Amino acid sequence: MAKLFRALLTGCFVALVASGCASGPQYKELASSIPTLKESQGRIYFYRSNSMVGSATQPNIRLNGTVVGESKPGGFFYVDEPAGTYVVSTATETEKTVTFTLDAGETKYVRTRIGLGLLVGRIIPSLESAEEGEKALQDSHYIGTPMTAASK
């Protein structure tokens, strides 16, 4: 009876964790179909590594105060925006931000990761290098519709 209970408990845990992870097509499957940038815009990729730690914590990601997506383990999405200064923020117990300037034709990579919080994990955004961002995207799953912050 104890073995059956452990097996059921393990199965429920695995199902719960799996339901929190990204499940769309992988970046490497979509890369060739991602449209090229318009001359006046830059692209911002948002991604989070796939980890069971903190997988239930999936707050919204805001770009200059407007929700553009969610921080999902193993997921990525992107937005195309005009050149300018941008603030990416996430909030659980506290708000965490990263600020950067985006130039026309430029691509930026923002990684979100789980950090320790008092009651809930904190999702912390950080600006990553193109090399790191492109490498991390390879195994990430697409979780959004391309849009601009202005279209939300």
Burial of 109 (0-12, 13-18, 19+ CB in 10 A): buried
Sorted by where each begins, the domain ranges of the chain are: 2-151
Query: Which of the residues in the chain have pLDDT under 70?
Result: 1-23, 51-55, 117-120, 145-152
Burial of 104 (0-12, 13-18, 19+ CB in 10 A): middle
Question: Residue 97's CB: how many other CB atoms inside 10 A?
Answer: 12
Write the pLDDT tens digit of every residue in 16-40.
Answer: 333 445 567 889 888 898 999 999 9
